[in-house]
């Protein structure tokens, strides 16, 4: 038999045939399907819904693993000193951020399945779980750290890592000292070149607040405000001309770039950057939705009782949900948008730079 015939024979062999990879082995189903060990069975106490409880939470942890896989790849791309806004790399970042948002929506919808378990069903096995708790999900805390949530800005710092294993605490601390997606997004925005090139703009300028575009935009923004909103003008100056980068906020330079992208996203060069910003906001929104759904489910299941891990249950979850917004510095920029018809007309040189010619 010729080498070509051997190759064709291998291609025609059924999946899982002799010597081939089998679906069952590839997915290691022996391990996965034997990983459900209900505590109620060990105590010889019937609790039908504990199997659902285990499967749901194991599924959560698998999705967390995938979210880490996507987040790590995005961070590795964005930490490069130069990221071309017309490059396939930016498309990859947007695509993977979008996937993260879709996965988070799945996590929210899984609560619908878990809520088919009634409070009495849960009580059949709840006390057998102590002190195990979702609060001990190190993958979730690690993901928050990679995105940009740091210890000093967490709710419940006193027992945030108290119940975690030492090796998991170490991973989270390492992530908190590394550059997060929030920080890398700010650095990427600061590299936006359009405002620094005097040749593109009509008029002289030496600082951002006397730049012809921002002078025109601030005037248009002021005219769009209602009388009770006039205090926003000082807020505008603080955010776009004086703000230093801090937690949950971008520097003034990054904030100006982000707002410009939002305002002129119709130009070809800004379409992908706008999608990137939009995906970051969506990830934050889906995390918030999940936290609030989880909080309401906990209240429905155990009322005002404490959690199995010792937290204050619903009260803790509500405080965390209200505080743990990572990209809120980006979300606040919508306060400074104006109608399209009021937007300053860009110079022709800038329009050309933002068009398809920018790829040359």
CA atoms within 13 A on the CB side of 270: 20
Distance in angstroms (rounded) separating the CA atoms of residues 317 and 52? 22
92 annotated as belonging to a binding site for a ligand: no
Ligand-binding site membership of 53 (annotated): yes
What sign for the dihedral angle of Cα 322, 328, 329, 331? negative
Calpha distance 327→342 (Å, rounded): 27
Cα 187 versus chain centre, distance: 17
Tokens of 103: 């996965």
Q: Please indicate if the annotation marks 261 as binding a ligand.
A: no
Q: Are 249 and 277 in contact (CB under 8 A)?
A: no
Is 126 within any annotated ligand binding site? yes
Asked if residue 56 belongs to a known ligand binding site, the reply is yes
Instruction: For residue 153, say whether it is annotated as part of any ligand binding site.
Output: no
The distance of Cα 87 from the centroid of its chain, to the nearest Å, equals 22
2 is in an annotated binding site: no
Residue 4, C-beta contacts closer than 8 angstroms, at least 6 positions apart? none
**24 has binding-site annotation:** no
Record the tokens describing residue 218, joined without a space. Answer: 């601030």
CA torsion through residues 133, 137, 140, 146, sign: positive
- Binding residues for heme, by number, are 294
- Binding residues for substrate, by number, are 53-57, 126, 308
- Binding residues, by number, are 53-57, 126, 294, 308
């Amino acid at each position: 038999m010729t080498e070509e015939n051997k190759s064709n024979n291998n291609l025609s062999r059924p999946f899982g045939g002799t010597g081939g990879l089998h679906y069952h082995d590839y997915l290691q189903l022996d391990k996965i399907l034997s990983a459900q060990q209900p505590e109620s069975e060990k105590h010889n106490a019937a609790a039908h819904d504990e199997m659902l409880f285990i499967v749901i939470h194991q599924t959560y942890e698998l999705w967390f693993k995938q979210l880490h896989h996507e987040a790590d790849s995005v961070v590795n791309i964005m930490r490069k000193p130069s990221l071309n806004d017309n490059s396939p790399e930016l498309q990859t970042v947007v695509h993977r951020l979008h996937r993260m948002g879709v996965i988070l929506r799945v996590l929210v919808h899984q609560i619908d399945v878990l809520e088919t378990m009634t409070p009495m069903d849960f009580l059949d096995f709840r006390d057998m779980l102590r002190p195990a708790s979702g609060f001990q999900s190190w993958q979730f805390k690690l993901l928050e750290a990679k995105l940009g949530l740091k210890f000093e800005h967490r709710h419940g710092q006193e027992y945030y890592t108290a119940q975690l294993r030492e090796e998991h605490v170490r991973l989270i601390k390492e992530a908190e000292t590394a550059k997060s997606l929030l920080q890398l997004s700010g650095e990427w925005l600061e590299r936006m070149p359009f405002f620094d090139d005097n040749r593109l703009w009509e008029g002289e300028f030496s600082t951002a607040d006397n730049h012809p575009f921002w002078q025109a935009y601030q005037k248009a923004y002021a005219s769009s405000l209602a009388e009770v909103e006039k205090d926003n003008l000082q807020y505008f100056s603080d955010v776009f001309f004086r703000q230093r980068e801090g937690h949950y906020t971008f520097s003034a330079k990054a904030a100006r770039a982000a707002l410009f992208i939002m305002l002129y996203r119709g130009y070809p060069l800004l379409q992908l950057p706008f999608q990137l910003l939009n995906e970051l906001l969506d990830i934050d929104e889906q995390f918030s939705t999940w936290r609030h759904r989880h909080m309401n489910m906990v209240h429905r299941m155990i009322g005002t009782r404490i959690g199995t891990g010792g937290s204050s249950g619903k009260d803790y979850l509500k405080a965390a949900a209200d505080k743990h917004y990572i990209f809120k510095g980006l979300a606040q920029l919508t306060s400074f948008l104006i109608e399209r018809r009021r937007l300053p007309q860009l110079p022709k040189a800038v329009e050309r730079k933002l068009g398809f010619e920018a790829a040359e």
